[in-house]
Structure 1
Amino acid sequence: MPVIDITDLSDPRLADFTRANDVALKKARGTGHGLYIAESALVLERGLRAGHRPRSVLALGGTVHEAVALVGDDVPVFSGPGELLAELTGYALHRGLIASVHRPPLPAPEQLLAAARRVVILENVVAPTNVGAIFRSVAGIGADAVLITPRCSDPFYRRAIRVSMGTVLQVPWTRVGDWASTRELLTASGFHLAALALTDDAVSLREFAPPERLALVLGTEGDGLTPDAIAAADTVVQIPMRHGIDSLNVAAAAAVAMWAVGE
C-alpha cells in the first residue's frame, strides 16, 4: 500500500487521529476491543513486538520510511507537513509519528497468575500518569504482571502509554473484580497479599520477608487503600520514612516497594 499524502482533513480514514479522546477510541467502530494511540516509533515497535495490530499510521515526512519499515505494506501510512498534522490531531507530532493500534483482548487473571511470582495490584489509581509510571517501574525493577481494579485508570490511555514509554504494551495486565473474588483468586493461586498502607499494625518493608509468591497492592492517590483491600491482605506493610513524612506519591511508593521485595 503506497504512502498516502493528506490533502483533505475530513477524509474518514483519518478519523482515528482527529482529536479522538481515549473513551472514543475504546469504542471505535470496526474493532473488536477498541483502539489505542502509540506515539513514537519506539512505542509502536513495542506494541508490534507484543503482537498488537496497527490500523493506520500518521507520520511526518522524515519518519515515513521508518513507519513503513515497521508496519509493512498492508497498513496505510498517512503523511503531510507538520502544521497540517497538528491541525488534524490538535497537537504537534514531536516524536515523528503516531499510530492507531487495535487493543488486544485482556487475558483472564488466572492465566497471568499461573506463571507469576511477583504481582502488582492497583486499586483505583485514577491518574494515567501514575499508572504509566508504575508500569515503567514494573518493567524495569521487576514484576510479572499487573492487576487493576474496575475504577483504576486504563493503562491503554494515551498519557499512560506515553509516560510508561510503551511498557504498558509489554507488561502483562488485566482487570479484576471485587475484593472477595480477587482474594479468592489469589489464594487459589498461592499468593500472599501485602497491602501498602499506614496502619498501626503495619510491618516495615525493612523487616518484611517476602514469600515465594507475592501480590503487592497499592491504593489511590490521596486516600490510599480502601478498608476492603486492607481487610483482604495477609500483611500490611509500610515504607520507613524520615523527617516527619508519612508517605510517597503512589508511583514512587510502587518503585520502592518493588525494589524492596525483589529477588
Structure 2
Amino acid sequence: MSEPASAAATDSRGHDESVGVGPWLGEWPDGPQWDPELLEHGDRRNVVDEFRYWSVAAIAAELDARRDPARVLHVAIENWAHDFNIGSVVRTANAYNVAGVHIVGRRRWNRRGAMVTDRYLHVHHHSDAAALAAWAEAEGLPLVGVDNVPGSRPVEGYALPPRCVLVLGQESTGLTPAMQAACDVVVHITQYGSTRSLNAGAAAAIAMYAWSHHHPPR
C-alpha cells in the first residue's frame, strides 16, 4: 500500500500554499471508512492525520465508539440573539469529543466558526431551559451552568461530575434566570483583571478542559 501524496506546495519564499494531503498515490486502501472522492482528489479538511481520507460518517462513528459511557460530556448553549461565538464553542466541543451539543432557543446559529466540525457531532435543539432540563433529567445528566453570577462556585475547586451537561449563556448577558434555575449548580472561572467576563468561546474551552482534566479518556 502506498502512502498519501503530500499536498504541500511552496512558493518562491518557501511558504506553504495548501493544506492537508493530495490524492492517494498507488493502490487505494481497502475498508468502509475510506472516502473514494477524498482518495482521488486529496483531503484538505481540518482533521488529524489519523482520519485523513475517512468519510464524515466513519469519523463520527469512530468518535462515538471512543467515548466511555461512564464519562459523558454534553455542552448546551443558549441562543437568543444569534451569538457568533456558538461556532467556536462547537469547534472546541469537537476537539474534546463531547457526546452532544445542544442549542437552546433559536434553532438557527452561525456555523462559520465551527469550521464544519458540527458534521462530526450530534447537534440537538431545545426550545427553552425547561425543555433542556427535561431531556437532561431523562438521561440522568446534571446541568452545570458556567457563569460568574452570585452564588456560583469556582470551577477550579469544583469536582465536575463525570456525566454532565455544561451550560453556557450568551456572550452579552450570560445564562438567563430560567436557565440558572434549571441548573443543578453554576460554576465560574476565576478572573484577576478588570473585564467583567470572558469571551463565551474562551469560557467554554476552559470549562471543557476543566472537565477533561478531571475525567481524561481511559
TM-score range, shorter chain: 0.5 to 0.7
Show CA shifts across 1:175-209 (max 9, x none). Answer: 01222232122112111111112222100011111
In the alignment, the residues of structure 1 paired with residue 44 and residue 80 of structure 2 have an alpha-carbon distance, to the nearest angstrom, of: 28
User: Identity over aligned residues, as a percent?
Assistant: 30
Residue equivalent to 1:186: 136
Q: Does 1:133 align with 2:82?
A: no
Match of 1:50?
Answer: 57
- Taking the aligned partners of 2:132 and 2:101, their CA distance within structure 1 comes to 13
After alignment, is 252-261 or 115-124 more displaced?
Answer: 115-124
Q: Is the 8 A contact 1:47 1:170 kept in 2?
A: no
Structure 2 residue corresponding to 1:176, chosen from 119, 122, 126: 126
Q: 2:74 aligns with which of 119, 129, 133?
A: 119
**Conserved 8 A contact 1:135-1:164:** yes
Q: Does the residue aligned with 2:167 lie in a helix, a strand or coil?
A: strand
Distance of 2:161 and 2:141 partners within structure 1: 8
Given the alignment of the two structures, is residue 254 of structure 1 paired with residue 204 of structure 2, yes or no? yes
Supply the RMSD in Å over aligned alpha carbons: 2.8
Partner of 1:56: none
Q: Distance in 2 between matches of 1:182 and 1:116?
A: 20
Secondary structure, aligned partner of 2:137 = helix
Q: Aligned equivalents of 1:243 and 1:120: distance in 2?
A: 27
CA contact (8 A) 1:119 1:144 kept: yes
Residue 136 of structure 1 and its aligned partner are, at CA, apart by 1.1
Cα-to-partner distance string for 1:68-89 (whole Å, 9 max, x where unaligned): xxxxxxxxxxxxxxxxxxxxxx
Q: Distance in 2 between matches of 1:129 and 1:179?
A: 20
Alignment partner of 1:206: what SS? Answer: helix
Q: CA deviation at 1:143?
A: 1.7
Structure 2 counterpart of 1:144, which letter?
Answer: A
1:127 & 1:200 partners in 2: Cα distance? 26
Structure 1 unaligned regions, length at least 5: 1-39, 52-113
Partner of 1:200: 150
The 5 A counterparts of 1:1-263 are 42=45, 49-50=56-57, 117-124=72-79, 126-127=81-82, 129-151=84-106, 153-154=108-109, 157=110, 160=111, 162-262=112-212, 263=215
> Contact 2:83–2:171 (CA<8 Å) still a contact in 1?
no
| Structure 1 segments (4+ residues) deviating >3 Å | 45-48, 125-129
CA–CA distance in structure 1, aligned partners of residues 154 and 170 of structure 2: 20
CA–CA separation in structure 2 for the residues paired with 1:222 and 1:152: 19
Q: Which runs of 5+ in 2 are unaligned?
A: 1-42, 47-51, 59-68
Distance 2:45 2:186 in 1: 38
In 1: Cα distance, 2:196 partner to 2:54 partner: 38
The Cα of 1:125 is off from its aligned counterpart by 6.0
Residue type of the alignment partner of 2:94: A
Q: Using the alignment, how far apart are the partners of 1:230 and 1:254 within structure 2?
A: 16
Q: TM-score, normalised by structure 1?
A: 0.53
Is residue 147–residue 188 contact of structure 2 (8 Å, CA) maintained in 1?
yes
